[in-house]
Amino acid sequence: MQVGIDAMAFSTSRYFLRLDTLAKNRNVDCAKYCIGIGQLKMSVFPPNEDIVTIAISAAQKVMARLVNKNEIDVLIFATESSFDLSKSAGIYVHHFLGLRPDCRVFDVKQACYSVTAALQLARSFVKDNPDSKVLVIGSDILKYSAGSSGEPTQGGAAIAIIVAKNPRLMIVEQHFSTYTTEIMDFWRPIEEGEALFDGKLSAQNYLQSLEITFLGYLKKSDLTPSDIDQVCFHAPFSKMAIKARNKTFADKSIDDTLIYNAIIGNSCSASLYVCLISLLDNSGDDLDGKRIGLFSYGSGSVAEFFSCTVVSGYRHMLSAEENRKMLEDRIEVSFEEYEQFCKNQADPGKKYANVGSIRMVRVENKQRIYERRIAG
Ligand code: HMG
C-alpha cells in the first residue's frame, strides 16, 4: 500500500515588506539582501493574524479537497512559534474546522524540522490504519530583533497536508536518513518573542547535516544521485538553498522551488513544503512519476533527507493560480507600518485584512479570542 501526500495547501499574511525598503532604512546596500541572501520581500503579520489564523486558512483550503471532513482521525500541529506551553494550537484548528471530537490532536516542536517529523509519524499511522487520514499542519511566524543581521531573513506561513493511502499528489518513499546533534545555532527561550541565533554556525551546521543525511540516504536506499530527478531544500533564505544545491546537485536548477520563498521569507516548519508546492506549481516539466529529494533542517538540530515520488495526474491537485493570486494580492507596508507590526501594535484607525475567515480579536485574561470574519 502506498501512503503519502494526498493534498497540500499554504497560506501567508496579506501584508509584505520589500527588502529594498528594509535595506534603505537600515543603511545596507540593497544588493546584499536581494542578491547576497536572495530575498526580495518578506511576509509581515498584522496584530490580528497569528499561527492559528494562518493555519486555519491553509487547513480550510486543503480540506476542500476531501469529500468528508470526518475522514480526519488525527491532527498534528507543528510549530516553533507557539504562544502557549500547555495547550495545543491544533485544538483551535480542530474547533474552527469542526472536526470529530474523537479526532486525536497534538502539537510537535523541533524548529523548522517539525513538519517532516509529523509527516513521517502520519505516514506510519496510516500504514497501521489504512482507512485513516491525518491532517498535518506547520505554522510559523519568525521574528528576529530589529536591526539584527537576521532581520532580512524573517517571514512566516502555514502549510496544511493531508496524509492518506493511495495519495493523489505524492508518495512518501520508505528511505530516509536523519542526523541529530546538540548545537546552539538558533533558539528562542520561553520569555523571548524573538529568536536568537549564530548565523554563521547555523549555515555551517545546515550544510554539514545535509552532507551526512544525503550520504546516509544514498547508502540506505541503494540509489545514486542520478536516480533523483528534482531536489528541494529547507530555505531559511534562498541563497542557503542554493548553497545546499551547489554541494549536492550542482547540475540541477532549483529556481522553481524558490519562487514563493523569495517573496515570503523564512516560514520555518512550512518552508520546505512551500518550496515543494512552488516546484509543483511552477515547473514547466511534467513531473509524473519523478522522484523528488527533500532536505529538512531544524536548528538545534535535527535534519533529514528523504524522498517522494509524484503521482500521475498530480496537476489536478494543484492550485497554482490561487497561490499566485494570494501572493500577488498582498498589500505592501511602509517601513513605519512594519515597525508597528513588529511591536504587535494596531493602528486604531485601521481595519486589517486577514488571509482567512478567522481573526484574532483580542487577548482577554491571557486568553486569545478568535472570531469568524463577516464577509466584506
Ligand atoms: P550577515 O552577516 O548579515 O551577512 O548574515 P553576510 O555578511 O554573511 O552576507 C550575506 C551574503 O551577502 C554573503 O554571500 C555576502 O558576500 C553577500 P555569501 O558569501 O554567503 O555567498 N553580500 C553581498 N552581495 C551583493 N552585494 C552586496 C553584498 N554584501 C554582502 N553589497 C545571515 C546573513 C543569513 C547569516 C543572517 O541573516 C542570519 O544569521 N540569519 C538567521 C539565521 C539563518 O537563517 N540561518 C540559516 C541556516 S539555519 C536554518 O535554516 C534554521 C532556521 O530556519 C531556524 C529553524 O530551524 O527554526 C533559521
27 φ/ψ sector (left φ>0, alpha ψ -120 to 50, else beta): left
Q: In what order do the strands lie in the sheet with 41-44?
A: 41-44, 15-18, 331-332
Catalytic: 194?
A: no
| pLDDT exceeds 60 at position 339 | yes
Q: Which domains does the chain have, with CATH numbers?
A: 3-372 (3.40.47.10)
Helix (H, G, I), strand (E, B) or coil at 149: coil
Instruction: Tell me the mean pLDDT in the region 226-240.
Output: 98
| pLDDT classification of 77: cutoffs 50, 70, 90 | very high
Chain-wide mean pLDDT for the chain? 97
Cell numbers 516546484 correspond to what residue? Answer: 279
Catalytic: 371?
A: no
| pLDDT exceeds 80 at position 376 | no
Best of 32, 39, 188 to mutate for ligand 1, by most ligand atoms within 8 A of CB?
A: 32
Instruction: Express each pLDDT in 45-64 by its tens digit.
Output: 999 999 999 999 999 999 99
pLDDT of res. 373: 80
Instruction: Express each pLDDT in 248-291 by its tens digit.
Output: 999 999 999 999 999 999 999 999 999 999 999 999 999 999 99
Which residues lie below 8 Å from residue 334, measured CB to CB, with a gap of 6+? 21
Instruction: Express each pLDDT in 7-22 by its tens digit.
Output: 999 999 999 999 999 9
Counting residues of the chain whose pLDDT is more than 90, the rounded percentage is 96
| pLDDT exceeds 90 at position 375 | no
Instruction: Tell me the mean pLDDT in the region 172-193.
Output: 97
Best of 37, 145, 201, 295 to mutate for ligand 1, by most ligand atoms within 8 A of CB?
A: 37
Centre of ligand 1 from the C-alpha of residue 37, in Å: 6
Catalytic: 234?
A: yes
| pLDDT classification of 67: cutoffs 50, 70, 90 | confident
Number of H helices, E strands in the chain: 11, 16
